[in-house]
Amino acid sequence: MLLGEHGRRRSGMGDDFWQYRPLQPGDTRRMIDWRRSARGDTQYVREREWQIAQSVMLWVDQAASMRYASNKDLPEKADRARLLALAVAILLVRGGERVGLTGTLLPPRRGNNQVLRLAELFSHDDAADYGVPEARAMIPQARAVFLSDFMGDIDAVREVLTKAADRGVRGILLQILDPSEEAFPFQGRTIFESVGGTVSHETLKAGELRDRYLKRLERRKAALADLCAVTGWQFHTHHTSDSAQVALLWLWQALNRGTA
């Protein structure tokens, strides 16, 4: 059995202290913690917390919509997604976990070479306007982290999370947005184009679209949050203008919450 840093909150095979309990029939003398037992008349056994290596599968949206940044001082959404995915992968590998990609391209494995493989695969862009999560080869009882703007077909996300839940897979949807996608600061004559160039819309009064756009965005985020609640996943929105370190901390804490 491989050991990882994700404790299971019960006694078993691992390195971390779990609890002391009184000696019970069937326990051997070598199980006794003599230092703790010396404090009184009761003999105690020192139990460790059970730990097991997990498989964590990543999906990073590499479609054209992720290659958007509203100004030169901000990273593209894709760059932030890749940074966070690699950082999480490094932390997981250091903890002894198996990390890989959803689908069949890179099954979860341990070791630093796996991180290098992930970095190489993350460098490839997708020509599609919007990304679709990968649903194949979901490992039962594994964990998953999906990073995307989730601006594409929400039915595809619903299908993947439903399949994942059926296999006991729990995970995280981290929505990554540029701040302009939340604020919609556009006024006057504006041409809106998808990054991939397949969708274009020109308007003379962009400001009049703001309320409708923001309501649709709010409905999209609410739908994603509701979907996660139903399937046992977690949802969070991160903006590229915010600290990547804060987002990484949230991801790591969310992964640990999911293993309790």
Tens digit of each residue's pLDDT (9 = 90 or more) over 233-248: 999 999 999 999 999 9
**60 burial via Cβ count (<10 Å: 0-12, 13-18, 19+):** buried
Whole-angstrom Cα distance, residue 234 to residue 251?
10
Residue type, 202: E
Query: What is residue 8's predicted lDDT score, i.e. its pLDDT?
Result: 42
| Listed ranges 25-29, 97-101, 201-205; the one with the highest mean pLDDT | 97-101
- 146 pLDDT exceeds 90? yes
pTM above 0.75? yes
**What's the gap between Cα 225 and its chain centre?**
14
Q: With pLDDT > 90 as the criterion, what percentage of the chain qualifies?
A: 57
Nearest to 177 by CA among 88, 78, 256, 85: 78
Q: Is there a contact between 52 and 115 (Cβ–Cβ < 8 Å)?
A: no
Beta strands of the chain (E only): which ranges?
7-11, 17-22, 44-51, 55-60, 98-101, 143-148, 170-177, 190-193, 200-203, 234-239
